[in-house]
């Protein structure tokens, strides 16, 4: 995992080499008042693989599949893991205790580990909720308004008449 060196700027561009890839990151903030959000564009060489990706803490920033080896994640170091808040440029930074948000590059292997961890946590939470009765599983009884059989019968009758 590599921390990406961001500055306290609303609009910045970084050129770096990550593994065998020449990467350009454009990190910027858009909006006014309470509707401020940060986004990121990612280019490998001269080809953009992602434009306008929202910076959402804990979530993978790049859509899959893409031509990029790895993933970027933003971490909110001041919030509980399940209560991360949206960033603004004044609190984003690099290698400083006072910076709330840090951007990281993860290799494909590291990203797979993160996904497996999230999956196992979700499964454990669902199992605990079932065991304690917080949620109850109801059997699926089907749709009462399912007319698909009657539609297919009328279509097949019309086909045989022709």
119 in any annotated domain: yes
The segment with the largest mean pLDDT, out of 27-36, 63-72, 81-90, 151-160, is 27-36
7 in any annotated domain: yes
- Residue-wise pLDDT tens digits, 99-155: 788 888 988 888 888 777 767 766 777 777 777 776 666 666 766 555 555 454 545
Confidence of residue 2 (pLDDT cuts 50, 70, 90): confident
Mark residue 13 as left, alpha or beta (left: phi above 0; alpha: psi -120 to 50; beta: remaining): beta
Which residue range is the domain that position 14 belongs to? 2-129
75 in any annotated domain: yes
Please give the tally of structural domains in the chain.
1
94 in any annotated domain: yes
Please count the CA atoms within 13 angstroms of the CA of 140 that sit on its side-chain side: 2
Angle in degrees, CA 112, 93, 72, rounded to 5: 20
**CA quadruple 58, 61, 66, 70: dihedral positive or negative?**
negative
82 in any annotated domain: yes
CA 51 to chain centre: 14
Confidence of residue 61 (pLDDT cuts 50, 70, 90): confident
139 in any annotated domain: no
153 in any annotated domain: no
What is the Cα–Cα distance from 30 to 54, expressed in whole angstroms? 10
147 in any annotated domain: no
Mean pLDDT of 152-162: 49
């Amino acid at each position: 995992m590599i921390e990406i060196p961001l500055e306290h700027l609303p609009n910045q561009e970084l050129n770096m080499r990550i593994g065998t890839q020449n990467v350009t990151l454009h990190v910027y903030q858009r909006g006014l008042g309470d509707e401020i959000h940060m986004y990121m564009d990612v280019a490998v060489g001269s080809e953009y693989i992602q434009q306008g990706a929202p910076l959402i803490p804990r979530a993978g920033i790049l859509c899959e599949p893409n031509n990029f080896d790895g993933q970027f994640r933003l971490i909110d170091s001041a919030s509980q893991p399940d209560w991360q808040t949206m960033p603004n440029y004044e609190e984003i930074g690099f290698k400083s205790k006072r910076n709330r948000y840090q951007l990281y590059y993860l290799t494909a292997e590291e990203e797979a580990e993160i996904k497996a961890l999230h999956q196992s946590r979700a499964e454990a939470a669902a199992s605990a909720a079932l065991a304690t009765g917080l949620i109850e599983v109801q059997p699926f009884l089907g749709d009462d308004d399912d007319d698909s059989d009657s539609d297919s019968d009328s279509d097949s009758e019309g086909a045989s008449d022709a």
